[in-house]
Amino acid sequence: MTHITVLSGGVGGARFLRGVRAWARQTHPDGAGGSTAHITAIVNTGDDMWLTGLRITPDLDSIMYTLAGANDEERGWGRVGETERVSGELKAYGVGWPWFTLGDLDIGTHLARTHFLRSGMSLSAATERILQRWDIGVRLLPMTDDEVETHVVSDIDGTEMHFQEWWTRHRASIPAREFRQLDVERSTPAPGVLDAIAAADVVLVAPSNPVVSIGTILGIPGIRAALAATSAPVVGVSPIINGSVVRGMADACLQTIGVATAADSVAVHYGSRAAGGLLDAWLIDEADAAVASHVEAAGIATTVVPLWMRDVPTAKQLAADAMDAATRVRSL
Ligand code: GDP
Ligand code: CA
């Protein structure tokens, strides 16, 4: 299992990837503190946006900062030791979104990214260039180089807003009728994405938001077909523990698409690969052991293990459990 491909959103995905990397370093050491295993993350870019002239890519940056150890562990997002002087200035000018504060260090990243994009680079090339600074040991691929932003249609008056406005400004409190991926039909997977799926020894679906993180990745034309065709087992980790989201407001997203906030419901929503869906295997928490039979009945091999990623060791154990589940799928 030396080529590991992970579908990932931001914070939940980042915590999981930190565990996968720790597992790889332990089981496939390269003798220099790294790993001979190749980890590729295919990352949601539906949350991306242009703001005050800058291209912001929240999920790519959450992963990058977390894996670099530069994240604010306490707050749960952004850079550690962050200040907000530039955002204060922008607010004084009435520029940008007053409810969306960008940290000063973070703005440095956005300036660099925007510079690379303006000089003609694709997002994937700009991401690779930015990662030269941070030795994270994981290849990060945006799901697409095209701008496919997620919009939310309000169920109250049918108005449409950027996902970020719904999520950050309204804290997902406006009932959503629908999530829309703007221009998705014209988009293509970023270079390397389809290859990373086809050449993988195992594909892991991180415990990320099933709708606006994993769902947006699956919405890019070609990605679902690649996942259906790969010879690698596809193993997912439930982002739902004991009927609730561990962090964040993913329940509001699930409600919109008519899926219950439950470990078995999300698995059934993803579907069994044998029946045209996504998953060969699914990991659920011990608190959800009672619903394992529902997942099995949907044709998905189910493993019951602790799913709380409290720290790197617990995330590493979760990665090990996912790899074990992949091995069992292979030997079937
Ligand atoms: P976002 O893009 O920052 O919203 O992050 P993701 O989409 O990657 O992940 C968000 C999801 O991660 C949330 O809906 C949580 O349910 C899930 N999550 C966060 N922490 C944990 C954890 O420790 N264990 C599990 N199983 N899921 C988690
Ligand atoms: Ca996100």
pLDDT of residue 331: 83
pLDDT of residue 184: 98
**Which ligand is located closest to the Cα atom of residue 9?**
1
CA of 10 to the centre of ligand 2 (A): 5
Looking from the CA of residue 307, the nearest atom of ligand 1 is: 26
pLDDT of residue 160: 97
Number of separate helices (H) and strands (E) present in the chain: 13, 14
| Lookup: tokens for 222 | 């070609």
Across-strand partners of 178?
A: 153
Q: What angle is formed at CA 45 by the lines to CA 87 and CA 271, rounded to 5 degrees?
A: 140
pLDDT of residue 248: 85
pLDDT of residue 330: 86
Q: Which CATH number applies to 3-68+123-147+188-251+260-331? A: 3.40.50.10680
CA of 327 to the centre of ligand 1 (A): 24
pLDDT of residue 77: 87
pLDDT of residue 117: 98
pLDDT of residue 290: 97
Looking from the CA of residue 237, the nearest atom of ligand 1 is: 26
Nearest-angstrom CA–CA distance, 55 and 74: 26
Q: Which residue has the tokens 């008519």?
A: 258
Nearest-angstrom CA–CA distance, 280 and 273: 6
Q: pLDDT tens digits for the chain (332 residues)?
A: 799 999 999 999 999 999 999 999 999 999 999 999 999 999 999 999 999 999 999 999 999 999 999 999 888 889 999 999 999 999 999 999 999 999 999 999 999 999 999 999 999 999 999 999 999 999 999 999 999 999 999 999 999 999 999 999 999 999 999 999 999 999 999 999 999 999 999 999 999 999 999 999 999 999 999 999 999 999 999 999 999 998 889 999 999 999 999 999 999 999 999 999 999 999 999 999 999 999 999 999 999 999 999 999 999 999 999 999 999 998 86
CA of 245 to the centre of ligand 2 (A): 14
CA of 59 to the centre of ligand 1 (A): 12
| Lookup: tokens for 190 | 């970023």
Domain residue limits, the chain? 3-68+123-147+188-251+260-331, 150-184
**In sequence order, which ranges of the chain are alpha helices (DSSP H)?**
11-27, 58-68, 85-93, 104-118, 123-131, 163-164, 193-198, 214-219, 223-229, 250-256, 263-270, 292-297, 312-330
Instruction: Report the chain's C-alpha Rg in angstroms.
Output: 19
Residues with CB under 5 A from ligand 2 (ion): 9-10, 47, 59
Q: Which residues does a 6 A CB cutoff place in the pocket of ligand 1?
A: 8-13, 15, 59, 62, 206-209, 213, 237-239, 241, 245-248, 250, 307-309
Q: Give the distance from CA 102 to its chain's centroid.
A: 20
